[in-house]
Amino acid sequence: MEKIKKNILEKHGYYLTGDESAVKLCHWVSEKLINGRACYKEKFYGIESHRCIQMSPVVDGCNHSCLFCWRYQDFIPRSPDSYDEPEDIVERSLSAQRALVSGFKGDERCDSKMWKEARKPNQVAISLAGEPTMYPYLSDLIEEYKKRGMTTFLVTNGTHPEIIESLDELPTQIYVTIAAPNKKIYNKLCVPSVRDGWERLNKTLELFPSLDIRTAVRHTLVKGWNLGWEKEYADMIKKAEPDFVEAKGYVFVGDSRRRMGLSNMPSHGSVKEFAHRLEKELDIRVVDEKKDSRVVLLSDPEKETIIKR
C-alpha cells in the first residue's frame, strides 16, 4: 500500500498489521473499559466488548461506496499485488490490540481485572473496513483465530457468494448487510463498483439457509433513503432465513458526515416501528433492543441468542 494511504489510515486511528490489513480500537472497547458500557452485540449475543478486536484483512479494498459508511473512502479502488499472510495478521492483530488498550491501565476509571482481560482478546469482528470476502485467505484467517479460541464475526456486503460458498472454515456468526429494498435504491445508496452487485447480494441471501452457522441480516436504515419497504425487505429475509435480523439506525459519524446529514439519522422510535412492521410480514418477533445504539433485534423467540463458549 502506498505510504500516503498508510499515513491517512494511521491518522484515522488504524493500526496497520501488514500491507493490506489493519486493526482499529472500537469505540465500545474504550466505553466498556472506562464507563462499563458495552456494545449491542454484547447485549444480544454475549460477546465481551472489551475483549473484541475490530479488524480487516483488506482495509483498503471495497467494491461498495455506501453513502452512509463512516469509513474514509477517497481511495481509488485497486487490486493489491499481494495480501498479508493469515497467521501474521492474527498475531499482529493480537499484539496491536494489546498496544491499543495499554494506555487504559493508567486511567483510574478503568477496572484492572477488565484491563487484564482486554489484553487477552477472545472475539474478533472482521468488519473494520473493506469487503473481507475480497481477501483470498479468508478461510485460513478464520481458522487461525478459531485455533486461538476466539469467536469470529464476519460482516459482508454479500457481493461474493462464491467466496462464502467456498469457505472451508466458517465464522461463528456471519452478517450480510441489506441496505436497500430494491436494485434502484441499492445502486444509488451503496454505489457498487460491480455491475451485478444486486444479483450477487440476492445469491448470497439464497445461500444463507445452507450455512450451518449463526446467520444474521443487518438493515442499516437511512431516513429519506431506505427506511420503509417492509414487504420488500421481508421477501429478501425469507430467502435468507437468518437466525437474527438487526434493524439498525444509521449514525451520523465519521466520514459519512461528508455524504449525509443529521436528518438522515432515524430515531430509535422509528427503527422500532420499522421492526414491528417487518415483524408482521415474517414469523420472527422483536426480541431485544438497545436504544443508545438505535438497534432492534428480531428472531425466533424460542431461539437462544447468546453464544455458548
Tell me the window of 47-55, 86-94, 212-220, 248-256 that interacts with ligand SF4 (CB under 6 A): 47-55
User: Per CB under 6 A, does 96 bind ligand SF4?
Assistant: no
If one asks whether residue 39 binds ligand SF4 (CB under 6 A), the answer comes out as yes
3-state secondary structure of 301: coil
The dihedral formed by the CA atoms of 67, 68, 72 and 75, expressed in degrees to the nearest 10: -20
Report the run of H or E that residue 95 belongs to, with start and end.
helix 86-102
Cβ closer to ligand SF4: 49 or 93? 49
Task: Tell me the helix, strand and coil percentages in the chain, rounded to 5.
Answer: 40, 15, 40
Question: Could you tell me the three cell numbers for 91?
Answer: 498475531
- Per-residue mark of binding to ligand SF4, 110-139 (x: CB under 6 A): ---------------x--------------
Q: Which has the closest alpha carbon to 274: 301, 243, 250, 256?
A: 250
29 binds ligand SF4 (CB under 6 A): yes
Tell me which of 1, 16, 47, 205 binds ligand SF4, using CB under 6 A. Answer: 47
Query: Could you count the other beta carbons within 10 Å of the beta carbon of residue 263?
Result: 9
Q: Which of 14, 15, 28, 274 binds ligand SF4 (CB under 6 A)?
A: 28
Residue 87 and residue 144 in contact, taking contact as beta carbons nearer than 8 Å:
yes
Helices H / strands E in the chain, number of each: 11, 10
**Shortest distance in whole angstroms from residue 49 CB to ligand SF4:** 4
- The label of the residue with cell 433513503 reads 225
Nearest distance from residue 288's CB to ligand SF4, in Å? 15
Strands 244-249 and 285-290, by their bridges, are: unpaired
Q: Answer yes or no whether residue 52 interacts with ligand SF4 by CB under 6 A.
A: yes
| Closer residue to ligand SF4 (CB): 243 or 279 | 243
Partners of 156 in the β-ladder: 176
Cell of 148: 486461538
Amino acid sitting at position 292 = D
Closest CB 52 distance from ligand SF4, rounded Å? 3
Greatest alpha-carbon pair distance for the chain in Å reads 53
Find cell 463458549 and name the residue: 309
Whole-angstrom Cα distance, residue 20 to residue 236? 33
If the CB atoms of residues 39 and 180 are measured against ligand SF4, the closer one turns out to be 39
Q: Which is nearer to ligand SF4, 26 or 59 (CB)?
A: 26
Shortest spacing between CB 10 and ligand SF4, in angstroms: 19
- Across-strand partners of 285? 299
Binding-site member from 1, 26, 164, 217 for ligand SF4 (CB under 6 A): 26
Among 45-53, 114-122, 223-231, 233-241, the segment contacting ligand SF4 (CB under 6 A): 45-53
Nearer to ligand SF4, 62 or 118 (CB): 118
Q: Residue 283 or 292: which CB sits closer to ligand SF4?
A: 292
Q: Give the shortest CB-125-to-ligand SF4 separation in angstroms.
A: 4
The rounded distance, in Å, linking the Cα atoms of 150 and 48 is: 11
39-47, 179-187, 191-199, 235-243 -> range binding ligand SF4 (CB under 6 A): 39-47
Residues that bind ligand SF4 (rule: CB under 6 A) add up to a total of 10
Verify binding: residue 244, ligand SF4, rule CB under 6 A: no
Residues that bind ligand SF4 (CB under 6 A): 26, 28-29, 39, 41, 47, 49, 52, 54, 125
